[in-house]
Amino acid sequence: MKTAVVMETPAFRLRGGSGWSNETDQVVEVSYDMLRKAPVGRRWVARNRTNIVRDAYGGSATVVYRTEWGVAVLIERWGTTDSPKSSWVYEEPELVWFGFAEEPEEAEEDEEDEGGD
């Protein structure tokens, strides 16, 4: 018999840090369960926690719309250039729809209904 382990992966990760730092990046992991419970306006942020501004980066994610079927999240990323006179750089924001799977109770009811007459 073969066996397998399947682990739920985060819906997304945000990272904040600096390419010039030996410190560990700040990593923010957001799960589907967190998205399910998040109200519109909920925001997660990963920042550069060092005092190094050269080659720094970070990002945020904000729930901007929700229904019972999923949430729309606006993801923004920013950073600084890798030069002695760093300047800010902003990536184009990305709007991502995270759809939710069926609730387990609903799935169980559907399986019972499919039993046939």
**Tens of pLDDT, residues 63-95:** 999 999 999 999 999 999 988 888 999 999 999
Global model pTM greater than 0.85:
no
Q: Which amino acid is at 107?
A: A
pLDDT at position 11 is 96
> What are the tokens at 65?
């719309």
What pLDDT is recorded for position 112? Answer: 53
Q: Is the pLDDT of residue 108 over 80?
A: no
State both tokens at 31: 């799960």
pLDDT, mean over the chain = 87
Provide the residue type at 72 as one letter.
Answer: A
Q: Which two tokens stand for residue 101?
A: 């799977």
73 token code pair: 């999240």
Lookup result for tokens 């589907």: 32
CA distance 52 to 66: 37
Q: Quick one: average pLDDT of 36-63?
A: 93
Ranking 27-36, 66-75, 93-102, 104-113 by mean pLDDT, the lowest is 104-113
